[in-house]
Structure 1
Amino acid sequence: MPEYSVIIPVYNRIDEVDDLLQSLSCQTDKDFETVIVEDGSTDPCDATVEKYKDKVDVKYFYKENEGRSIARNYGMERASGRYFIFFDSDCVIPPFYFERLRKALAEKPYDCFGGPDAAHESFSDTQKAINYSMTSFLTTGGIRGGKVQLEKFTPRTFNMGFSR
């Protein structure tokens, strides 16, 4: 059983999945599986996933479209790790992610954890501006639950993990 199960809901994002799997193939700690749940895509990424089967422990599932939350639940039902970690298909993971996560959890075990949403150094100024507008406390990142009613608040679930 792997320590971590990375669960990724996907909807028509072949290029993003390629970048994400490439970053996962470069991890310094390989004790994780990747569960890709294709959520009714009309342009599925199964061929892209197949390219990484010898580099990443990856499982691919296709299901009818029901939205990312249902897709994540579907992935968790098929995952075998001690921890579930959610990434979105457009994430690129630093090569030391699992190495540092293992160290942090050994020092202070948590049942739920998360990390930052940081713009990659290769992003253009436009991409960095979009990232800022989506995550800054001064923009939508600051109002995601601040003044709106709690029942309408939906926490961001990428780069989030929790124990089985």
Structure 2
Amino acid sequence: MKFYSVIIPVFNRPEEIKELLVSLTEQTYKHFEVLVIEDGSERKCEEICLSFNDQLNIQYFYKENTGQGFSRNYGFERAKGDYFIVFDSDCIIPPNYFQIVDTFLLHTPLDAFGGPDAALDSFTTIQKAISYSMTSFFTTGGIRGGKLQVGKFRPRSFNMGISKAVFENTKGYIITRMAEDLEFSIRIEQAGFKMGLIPDAKVYHKRRTSLKQFYKQLFFFGRGRINLFRFYKNELKPLHLFPALFSLAFIFWILSILILPLLFKIGAIVFGLYFTLIFIDSLIKTKEIKVAILSIATSFTQLFAYGMGFMKESTNYILRSNSGNS
């Protein structure tokens, strides 16, 4: 039996970690340990973690704030498993997750893997809409773990596993924020390790609970894409420009109300058709009309925020390059 180490970095989210730990107590495959890494939080989750001592093989660590990437490294260094699995603290894990992973690895050995995310029926309407927009082909191209996706699969750290050998070879994350998981996945791939998607190893990802929080998160993601560009110039693909083009097109469309009325009408038709497709797709997938309606707002927020973050960090990169500091 393989032994797994679950690494969970936490920052000021004690209310989330309890749901995650409860879901881990319900696993059908029990051969794993849990390491919770408190990343300098003011709102600690130590008492919650200690309350699971009789249900889980769990360890709690508190350290100074260094960001999620280096907090995962902290866990990797102390883990005893054959594989290290990283979850975000806002995830809930289906009872058969480890059984699915273990069975898959038995027949298809992988050095690193990831799985998709989904929404539970108990999630709020906005959480379901955010989950849709973060996994939809119409907004992300399916690059976040779905079976249908553009380009090669690379695990994301909300649901990611690596072998002990991968960590020993790569030494883990070398950046702690802003696309740190993609940089890590690329380096694993370049080291020659076998990486793949386990389609059925999904997690339920609660994500943000308001459009404001969601905007901040996606703005940060947009900046992260340019941060990744600093390390790997060839990783910036045409697909990644879409949110920035969307943001620019939307701004120009709004400005055209007064100066180019015909263009405004054309833009209204184009945007209307695009968001109608999103509404229909969301309705088919979620079967909830409220979620489908809100998916229009979350999809717009996702694209616009990512695009604005992308453009902000692009500007910073150009300014640094011109000053010789990049």
Please report the TM-score for the alignment, with normalisation by the length of structure 1: 0.88
Unpaired runs of 5+ in structure 2?
Answer: 144-153, 165-326
CA deviation vs aligned residue, 1:55-84 (integer Å, no higher than 9, x gap): 011111000001000100011001010001
- 2:107 corresponds in structure 1 to 107
State the Cα distance separating 1:157 from its structure 2 match. 1.1
The answer (yes or no) to whether the contact 1:49–1:58 under 8 Å persists in 2 is yes
The residue that corresponds to 2:22 in the other structure is 22
Partner Cα distance (2:123, 2:11) in 1: 22
Deviates more, 1:81-90 or 1:101-110: 101-110
Q: Which amino acid aligns with 1:41?
A: S
Amino acid at match of 1:162: I
Q: Confirm or deny: 8 A CA contact 1:2 1:80 kept in the other structure.
A: no
Determine helix, strand or coil for the equivalent of 1:81. Answer: coil
Q: What is the match of residue 265 of structure 2?
A: none
Following superposition, the deviation at residue 156 of structure 1 comes to 2.7
Name the count of aligned residue pairs: 155
Distance 2:94 2:118 in 1: 11
Matched residue, 1:148: none
- Displacement after TM superposition at 1:155 (Å): 6.6
Contact kept, 8 Å, 1:20 with 1:91, in 2: the verdict is yes
Cα distance in 1 for partners of 2:61, 2:123 equals 30
State the Cα distance separating 1:2 from its structure 2 match. 6.5
Q: Which residue of 2 aligns with 1:77?
A: 77
Indicate the residue corresponding to 1:118 in structure 2.
Answer: 118
**Residues of 2 paired with 1:138 and 1:69: CA distance?**
29
Instruction: Check conservation: 1:2, 1:33, Cα contact below 8 A.
Output: no
More strand by share: 1
Equivalent residue number for residue 150 of structure 1 = none
What's the counterpart of residue 179 of structure 2? none
Matched letter for residue 120 of structure 1: L
1:31 match: 31
Identity %: 55
Alignment of 1:127 with 2:127, yes or no, is: yes
Cα contact 2:113–2:155 (8 A) shared by 1: no
Task: Report the 3-state secondary structure (helix = DSSP H, G, I; strand = E; otherwise coil) of the residue aligned with 2:137.
Answer: coil
Aligned equivalent of 2:157: 157
Query: Does residue 1:47 correspond to 2:47, yes or no?
Result: yes
Letter in 1 for 2:127: Q
What's the offset of the Cα at 1:137? Answer: 3.2
Select the structure of larger CA radius of gyration.
2
Quote the Cα distance in structure 1 between the aligned partners of 2:84 and 2:58: 14
Question: 1:34/1:75 Cα in 2 relative to 1: closer, same or farther (>3 Å)?
Answer: same
SS in 2 for 1:36: strand
Alignment partner, residue 62 of structure 2: 62
* Structure 1 runs, 4 residues or longer, greater than 6 Å off: none
How far, CA to CA, are the matches of 1:115 and 1:108 in structure 2?
14
Contact 1:4/1:82 (8 A) holds in 2: yes
Q: Distance in 2 between matches of 1:138 and 1:31?
A: 39
Match of 2:89 in 1: 89
Q: In angstroms, what is the RMSD of aligned CA positions?
A: 2.1
In 2 relative to 1, CA 105–143 (structure 1 residues): closer, same or farther, beyond 3 Å? closer
